[in-house]
């Protein structure tokens, strides 16, 4: 049974409800009709096949030759129109998953929330999804849609027309369709106008659409940061009011989204926006608390430096280990906890391990972190103390530790942020430049 969005507002305070109703009324009076669409013929737009990956083209042509509709959609179209290199290519079609699966031997049906098909090529996956209708639209179709009390959609396999598919997407700039049949561009939601004005506008009623899938809140922030776009007013008003909705999102999905927020080359800009819109707390509640409580410039600087370093590494095509940035984000929390334990007559490393595991435990309640990363984060933390101590008997163990390089870089950021002096860091830097004989001499001198 479908639930109306307004029923989901019970948790929200009265002023927010009033804003919501006013917004709905206003929208109703000036609504973009769902029957209108703009078709821009090939000579009048800039999406060229040269900018589309060969594999995506292959997928679309094969669907078309089999008698199906096939469109490039999502970030692929949006980024080409902006003159950017798309991260990946998404294809939308009227073929059902099983039919797509039959057309491509190199494919697999994935997804529970909604089923789609991944077509595998060497080094590239083309995601092919069947047109779907928005689950909140009244529909006579047979598939199930389940709403929880929160208005969230748990399963969303109601197939629809291309037009319905456009209206169930998240933002107008993500709902532009490039038709492989005639190379035209189809715009149902005035995405092209928003693209021109550099606006992220959620499709439909903002409060309802965020309730349906609260991850859209983080996606709005992510796209605004990545594209340097502004959030359209209603999209922004609702977003500011709804950070608590993220509590209803599985913590593993928050982790997936966190990777996209910080490891696609726009970590610094995204972090600033997360802070600005009060969303950092939804992902890292302990970090936010310490940052707020202490307003410690060193902590802030350390996080800024790590975000910028992550962006630079990605720009230079270097690998990044998420554990590094996660270790930085939670470092202020560890520091804070350590100051509390001063004077306690407990062995330092014993206590440190207890504190680390408590911090990680509380963190994964808000946002999941896979075990292997938890391990790496703790290793990077422990190494900070060992790098500073430089106990003669431990030097080689530390030096050959799997996470030495990450821990050393981490230490470098702490120096830059003026948290510690550079003496020990310089020593370790020198050690790496020496041959074995000189290294032994350095260690003997300690
Ligand atoms: P990029 O790949 O550059 O991060 P994208 O816009 O392609 O951006 P994807 O996560 O690849 O984003 O999703 C592809 C498309 O699927 C989106 O452009 C959007 O139209 C639709 N989509 C993805 N997630 C959602 C969602 N939570 N709600 C509604 N539509 C979504
Ligand atoms: Mg994409």
Question: Residue 244 carries which DSSP code?
Answer: G
Q: Which helix (H) or strand (E) holds 29?
A: helix 14-29
Catalytic residue set = 88, 90, 170
pLDDT at 28: 44
Q: What is the pLDDT of residue 15?
A: 59
For residues 199 and 337, membership in a common domain is answered with no
At residue 346, the pLDDT reads 72
Closest CA to 57 of 179, 192, 191: 179
Return all residues near 32 (Cβ < 8 A) that are at least 6 apart: 189, 190
**Ligand 2 mean position, distance from CA 90 (Å):** 6
Considering the domain architecture, whether residues 79 and 200 belong to the same structural domain is answered as: yes
Q: What is the pLDDT of residue 137?
A: 43
C-alpha 132: how far from its chain's center? 23
**Last residue within a domain, chosen from 212, 237, 257:** 212
Joined together, the tokens standing for residue 156 give 């969303």
Structural domain for 352, as ranges: 280-445
Residues 6+ apart with CB under 8 A from 193: none
- Interval between CA 210 and ligand 2 midpoint (Å): 19
pLDDT confidence of residue 154: 55
Residues 260-318: tens digit of each pLDDT: 999 999 999 999 999 999 999 999 999 999 999 888 899 999 999 999 999 999 999 99
DSSP per-residue codes, 210-256: HHH-THHHHHHHHHHHHHTPEEPHHHHHHHHH-GGGGGGS-HHHHHH
Q: Out of 212, 236, 258, pick the residue that ends a domain.
A: 212
Q: Which region, left, alpha or beta, applies to residue 43 given φ > 0 means left and ψ of -120 to 50 means alpha?
A: alpha
Domain count, the chain: 2
The residue among 155, 177, 212 that closes a domain is 212
pTM value surpassing 0.85: yes
> Which portions of the chain are predicted below pLDDT 50?
1-12, 26-31, 137-144, 146
**Alpha carbon of 433 to those of 94, 188, 427: distances in Å?**
60, 60, 10
Q: Does residue 324 sit within a domain?
A: yes
Is residue 169 lining ligand 1, measured as CB closer than 6 Å? yes
β-sheet with 124-130: strand ranges across: 38-40, 185-187, 176-179, 70-73, 90-93, 124-130, 116-121, 107-110
Which ligand number lies closest to the CA of residue 156?
A: 1
Residue 13, pLDDT score: 55
- Helix 251-262, helix 267-276: angle, nearest 10: 120
**Ligand 1 and 414: CB distance under 6 A:** no
> What is the reported pLDDT for 270?
98
Q: Any idea what the CATH number is for the domain that residue 141 is in?
A: 3.30.460.10
**Ligand 1 atom at minimal distance to the Cα of residue 88:** 2
Q: Establish whether residue 174 lines the binding site of ligand 1, counting it when its CB lies within 6 angstroms of any ligand atom.
A: yes
- The total number of residues shown for the chain amounts to 446
Output the pLDDT for position 355: 95
Question: Can you give the pLDDT at residue 294?
Answer: 81
Residue 396 domain flag: yes
**159 C-alpha to ligand 2 centroid (Å):** 20
């Amino acid at each position: 049974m479908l639930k109306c969005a307004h029923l989901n507002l019970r948790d929200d305070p009265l002023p927010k409800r009033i804003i919501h109703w006013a917004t709905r009324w206003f929208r109703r009076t000036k609504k973009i009709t769902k029957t209108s669409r703009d078709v821009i013929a090939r000579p009048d737009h800039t999406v060229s096949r040269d900018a589309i990956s060969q594999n995506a083209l292959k997928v679309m042509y094969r669907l078309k030759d089999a008698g199906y509709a096939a469109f490039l959609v999502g970030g692929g179209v949006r980024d080409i129109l902006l003159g950017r290199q798309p991260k990946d290519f998404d294809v939308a079609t009227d073929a059902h998953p099983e039919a797509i699966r039959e057309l491509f031997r190199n494919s697999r049906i994935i997804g529970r929330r909604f089923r789609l098909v991944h077509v595998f090529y060497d080094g590239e996956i083309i995601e092919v999804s069947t047109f779907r209708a928005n689950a909140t639209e009244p529909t006579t179709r047979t598939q199930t849609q389940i709403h929880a009390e929160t208005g969230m959609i748990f399963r969303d396999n109601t197939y629809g027309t291309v037009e319905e598919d456009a209206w169930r997407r998240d933002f107008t700039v993500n709902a532009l369709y490039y038709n492989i049949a005639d190379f035209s561009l189809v715009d149902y939601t005035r995405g092209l106008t928003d693209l021109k004005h550099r606006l992220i506008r959620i499709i439909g009623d903002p409060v309802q659409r965020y309730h349906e899938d609260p991850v859209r809140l983080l996606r709005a922030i992510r796209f605004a940061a990545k594209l340097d776009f502004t959030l359209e007013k209603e999209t922004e008003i609702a977003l500011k009011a709804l950070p608590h909705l993220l509590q209803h999102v599985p913590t593993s999905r928050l982790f997936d989204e966190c990777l996209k927020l910080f490891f696609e080359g726009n970590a610094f800009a995204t972090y600033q926006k997360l802070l600005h819109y009060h969303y950092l707390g939804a992902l890292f509640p302990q970090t936010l608390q310490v940052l707020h409580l202490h307003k410690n410039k060193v902590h802030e600087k350390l996080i800024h430096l790590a975000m910028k370093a992550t962006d630079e590494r990605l720009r230079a095509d270097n690998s990044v280990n998420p554990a590094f940035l996660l270790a930085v984000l939670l470092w202020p929390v560890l520091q804070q906890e350590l100051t509390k334990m001063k004077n306690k007559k407990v062995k330092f490393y014993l206590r440190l391990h207890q504190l680390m595991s408590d911090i990680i435990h509380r963190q994964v309640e808000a946002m999941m972190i896979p075990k292997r990363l938890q391990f790496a984060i703790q290793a990077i933390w422990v190494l900070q103390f060992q790098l500073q101590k430089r106990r003669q008997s431990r030097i080689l163990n530390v030096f050959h530790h799997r996470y030495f390089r990450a821990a050393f870089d981490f230490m470098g950021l702490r120096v830059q942020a003026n948290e510690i002096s550079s003496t020990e860091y310089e020593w370790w830097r020198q050690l790496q430049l020496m041959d074995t004989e000189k290294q032994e001499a350095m260690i003997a001198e300690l």
